[in-house]
Structure 1
Amino acid sequence: MKLLAGTRVVVLADHLVDFGGSMLARLGADVLLADAAPLTNARKRAWHKGMSRTDAPLADLLESADILLDDRRSDARGGVDALASLHPQLIHVVVTGFPDSDRPVTDLTLMAQSGLMHVTGQPDRPPLRLPGEQAYALTGIQAATAALMGLRARRASGKGQRITLSALQSAALANYREAVMYEHTGRIGMRQGNMLVRGSSGVRQIWPCKDGFVTWSMIDNPGMMRALVRVMQAEGAAGELAEIDWDAILVADTDQDVIDRWQAIVAEFFARHDRKTLADWSLEHGWGLSPIIKLTEVPDSPQMRARGVFDDDGLPGPLFAVHEGRAS
């Protein structure tokens, strides 16, 4: 049995709630895509998996709906609020581009105004957007989350509710470190490229290895650093790292020239091994390292296979299903 079996969702889609509707469908809800423009097959596969398209009037659809995902990316959809207000049990999630505004937005403008582009890329080059339409996806995730919270609240109170959120806030919250830093320090983050800057020095984040790349950073975690160095020693590759008392130093306060010298030793070690070997060592010893997998490898990764995230066609499948009384 799927988690949302018996739940009916109506989706008015205009890019911002599309992925949210698909998420609810994969959780087992009956999701109806209403009042939508003609869709390409690629968009259907990427954004509308699990939804059924309908031309029925919205007034009729709301008679049996539990949730309405109301996308107002580029227009105010006049009359929807009045129809929704006739159904006190309805969870009405209204998503606009900006808070309390129906000003139009695009994925590009959301990436820029949320600050995500400001911190993405090399410091001496123009800002970059993330690939695909990730601002839309981030907003869809928040829309689905809001709908689930509304369902829980309805179970407790017996009443539906109107929930509002904005795509700008959804994208900005994904840029969590910069927003938190600004709130507490007033500092505006900048593009750092392949560098995590803390204190007076910066450490590398992406490293080439024998068959691709891994992500790892030399941070102030003595246990992690000792675990890495132990394996490097066993491989005859630790060099001066074996002589460092990691409990007695702060990496963030170490001179950049020294950091760069230490990182050169780590870089040579990583370059000698493939992603799987490094990832297995990381899991066994607690390095905090992760392999960077290619897009073509995602459906067959052990984590995705174990969770059944992708179906036999390599497309995203049910996110959660209930088997023998357990969610998996």
Structure 2
Amino acid sequence: MPTALADLLILDFSRVLAGPYATMVLADMGARVIKIEQPGTGDETRQWGPPFADNGLSAYFIAVNRNKQSITLNLKHPTGQAIARELARRADVLIENFLPGTMARMGLGYNDLRPLNPRLIYCSITGYGQYGPDADRPGYDTVIQAEGGLMSITGEPDGPPMKTGVAVADITTGLYAATSILAALHYRTHSGEGQYIDLSLFDVQLSWLANVASAYLVSGKPPRRYGNAHSTIVPYQPFAAADGYVMVAVGNDQQFTRFCQALNHPEWATDERFATNPARVTNREQIITAIAEVMAGESVAFWIERLRAAQVPCGPVNDIPTALNSRQAQARGMVRSIDGIRMVGPAPVFSATPATIRSAPPALGADTAAVLAELGYSADQIRHFYDQGIV
């Protein structure tokens, strides 16, 4: 069965999360991804554990490195740099996440490679971009969450700022990288030209503050923390049931009317304090307290059945095992297995070019000899490269 990006060759010089996530997304869609790693150590996330799979790979590395080949290459050695340039001559895309200027110092910057391959799409991911007062600082997801404002709006109103449970700045930067690369490839189809993409975690973090940033820019008022509640919609938060939590997402006044009926309090829907969403936001404490008292008396299952029957958006607050083993996750094939390794599968479902898992995350340097042979190096030359620590 065909895949959407089967004709693309991507060189992945990135490590850890944002870059590898981007290249995994593209690899799932069929692109050939060659991951270039440091001899002897490789991507540092290979050792970020426990837990580790039976083959010794960390769960962290497994999460974002399927469908890739791995070669080792000493980029500080002139021969290693020459091999990297030879790969770049043939590549459609190069992605890297070194500090600004690092690739250029090794003769592998965009301006070095463009003359060799004018069609190359070159994507650099950094913490703060290629210019600006913080450009030379390394980027770490939690620091970006802090500096980019996310932690200030995450957590309970009277508690400390909190980070999210997943490295969202890295993940969203990876998604931005993938979509930006695809846009550049589309431009190349009619221009014949590659281009450079400068992508920073900090910029991405600011960009997806979305309505929260917009609220400040419109009102001039700094957003504050609402815990699990919503700043401008009520009720839109989890409520404690007798045996767990139920997330309620009442998005309009019609839903609120049905919600009140399901709670056997239809009078709330006509009370001027609660009849409209702006009124409920103003009188948030009163209505939330009233709802909480009612919902605490029944089980999660009771409320899920009752609210869904009333067409009120809701769901149980699941832990990770429950979510991954849910009927919906199973129906969608979201947990896959390859070579005995279980992992979360690709999210998009294409009608003609499905995203696939074709190979497990590779052992360090598993494909070095094969890729060098493709470049025309002999077995003797390849052995010499190993002996000299070039690969």
Q: Normalising TM by the smaller chain, what interval? A: 0.7 to 0.9
**Equivalent residue for 1:10?**
11
1:281 to partner: Cα distance: 5.2
The match for 1:224 is 255
Structure-2 change in CA distance of 1:218 and 1:138 (3 Å): same
In structure 1, C-alpha distance between the alignment counterparts of 2:153 and 2:330, rounded to whole Å: 33
Alignment of 1:11-160 (within 5 A): 11-15=12-16, 16-36=18-38, 37-38=41-42, 39-40=46-47, 41-42=57-58, 43-55=60-72, 57-73=83-99, 76-78=102-104, 79-80=107-108, 81-85=110-114, 86-100=116-130, 101-160=135-194
- On the 8 A contact 2:335/2:343 being kept in 1, the answer is yes
SS at 1:184 equivalent: helix
- Return the offset for 1:278: 4.2
**Match of residue 268 from structure 2:** 241
SS at the partner of 2:180?
helix
CA deviation map 1:65-116 (0-9, x unaligned): 2111121357632222234312122111121211322421212211111111
Shift of 1:268: 4.0
CA offsets 1:5-31 (integer angstroms, 9 cap, x no match): 232211111333121112212222211
Whether the aligned pair in 1 keeps the contact of 2:235 and 2:248 (CA below 8 Å) is no
Q: Secondary structure at the match of 2:246?
A: strand
* Residues in 1 aligned to 2:118 and 2:316: alpha-carbon distance in whole angstroms: 49
Corresponding letter in the other structure for 1:84: L
C-alpha contact 2:259 2:312 (8 A) present in aligned 1: yes
Question: Which deviates the most, 265-274 or 141-150?
Answer: 265-274
TM-score, normalised to structure 2, is: 0.71
| Identity percentage of aligned residues | 23
CA distance in 2, matches of 1:217, 1:170: 27
Number of aligned positions between the proteins: 318
Does structure 2 conserve the Cα–Cα contact (< 8 Å) formed by 1:96 and 1:102? no
State the Cα deviation string for residues 202-247 of structure 1 (Å, max 9, x = none). 756221234432322556x221112223333xxxx3263265479x
- Pairwise CA RMSD of aligned residues? 3.0
Deviation at 1:119, TM superposition (A): 0.8
Deviates more, 1:278-287 or 1:112-121: 278-287
Segments of 4+ in structure 1 off by > 6 A? none
Find the aligned partners of 1:120 and 1:77 in 2 and give their Cα distance.
36
- Measure the CA separation in 1 of the matches of 2:214 and 2:321: 34
Counterpart-to-counterpart distance in 2, 1:75 and 1:210: 57
Map residues 224-303 of structure 1 onto 2, 5 A cutoff: 224-232=255-263, 237-238=264-265, 240-241=267-268, 243-244=270-271, 249-254=275-280, 259-275=284-300, 278-279=303-304, 285-303=310-328
The aligned amino acid for 1:68 is: L
Q: Distance in 2 between matches of 1:99 and 1:273?
A: 51
> TM-score of the superposition, structure 1-length normalised?
0.83
SS, match of residue 17 in structure 1 = helix
Amino acid in the other structure paired with 2:11: V
Any conservation in 2 of the 1:91–1:160 contact (CA below 8 Å)? Answer: yes
CA shift, 1:296, in A, is 0.9
Distance 1:88 1:132 in 2: 37
Q: 1:50 to 1:284 in 2, by over 3 A?
A: farther
Give the CA deviation at 1:254. Answer: 5.0
Distance of aligned partners of 1:261 and 1:125 in 2 relative to their CA distance in 1, 3 Å threshold: closer
After superposition, the C-alpha distances for 1:96-148 in whole angstroms (9 at most, x for unaligned) are 21132242121221111111111111233221111243322221121112112
Q: C-alpha distance in 2, partners of 1:297/1:251?
A: 33
Alpha-carbon distance between aligned partners in 2 of 1:189 and 1:309, rounded to the nearest angstrom: 35
Which of 201, 215, 229 is 1:181 aligned to? 215
Output the CA distance in 2 between the equivalents of 1:129 and 1:249.
35
After TM superposition, the structure 1 stretch with the greater mean CA deviation from structure 2, 89-98 or 209-218, is 209-218
Note the alpha carbon deviations across 1:26-66, whole angstroms, 9 max, x for none. 22221111134532222321232222211253212223221
Q: Which residue type is aligned with residue 238 of structure 1?
A: H
Aligned-residue offset at 1:149:
1.6
Aligned to 2:246: 214
Amino acid at match of 2:258: A
Q: Judging changes above 3 Å, is the alpha-carbon distance between structure 1 residues 125 and 322 closer, same or farther for their aligned structure 2 residues?
A: closer
The structure-2 alpha-carbon separation of the partners of 1:327 and 1:262, relative to structure 1 and needing over 3 Å to count, comes to same
Residues 154, 267 of structure 1: alpha-carbon distance in 2 compared, 3 angstrom cutoff: same
Larger radius of gyration: 2
Of 308, 323, 344, the match for 1:316: 344
Note if contact 1:23-1:319 (Cα within 8 Å) is conserved in structure 2: no
